[in-house]
Amino acid sequence: MPIGSRPGTALLLIDLQSVFWDEGPYEDVAKADAMSAILAEVAKAKAENLPIIAVRQEWSILSTKIIARLTMRGQAIEGTPGTQIAKPFAGLAEHVLVKRVQDAFETGELDELLERLDVGKLRIVGLDFRYCVAKTALAARQRGYAVEVVTRATLCVNQTAGDQTRGILSSNAVILR
């Protein structure tokens, strides 16, 4: 269902939680560069008085819990250590939501919040570009949001697959900057 005309913009922080940020497969140099870019986006959003929304991953559906145990060493399963926002990003968001799958819109909670905030455009940063960032960006586009992914403020484990994801996002009118 299209969202209609909404003038607001929000910054969406995806999966910037300890289990992925502190213990994830990302190189320190890449993390430092991404952290600098993420914090710059947060400062820009605050200066523009834009809402900042953090979305945390917690696998809570039986099937996703099983997949997480088999393919992700049990990371980010509901109730496990590390699901909290990582220290560099703790306290930056006015709103913190939990998602159960890669698409942050799946539960409907993000839809409701963005409607209350009158948001029609999303700037997205976070982890992992190929998975949760891309799935959320595509879900937003399907709903009619204007979407911009700040690529320097994202991380991607597999750069070759990340290049393919860039093509998919671009072909779906997601702005990459």
Model confidence over 9-50: pLDDT tens digits?
999 999 999 989 998 899 999 999 999 999 999 999 999 999
Measured CA to CA in angstroms, residue 132 lies from 8, 105, 116, 135, 140 at distances of 23, 11, 23, 5, 12
Query: Would you state the pLDDT for residue 65?
Result: 58
**Token representation of residue 15:** 């999966």
Strand partners, 119: 8
Average pLDDT, the chain: 92
Give pLDDT tens digits for 44-72.
Answer: 999 999 999 999 987 666 666 577 667 66
pLDDT above 90 (res 81)? no
| Residues 76-87, mean pLDDT to the nearest whole number | 81
Q: Give the torsion through C-alpha atoms of 86, 92, 98, 102, to 10 deg.
A: -70
- Whole-number Å distance between alpha carbons of 76 and 83: 6
Q: Are 58 and 76 in contact (CB under 8 A)?
A: yes
8-176, superfamily in CATH? Isochorismatase-like (3.40.50.850)
* Amino acid 100: pLDDT: 82
Catalogue the long-range contacts made by 25-31 (C-beta closer than 8 Å, 24 or more residues apart). 25/157, 26/127, 26/155, 26/157, 30/155, 31/155
Task: Determine the average pLDDT of the residues in 153-170.
Answer: 95
What's the whole-number mean pLDDT along residues 63-91? 77
Domain chopping of the chain, boundaries: 8-176
Confidence check: pLDDT of 176 > 80: yes
Q: How confident is the model at residue 82 (pLDDT cuts 50, 70, 90)?
A: confident
Mean pLDDT, range 125-149, rounded to an integer: 97
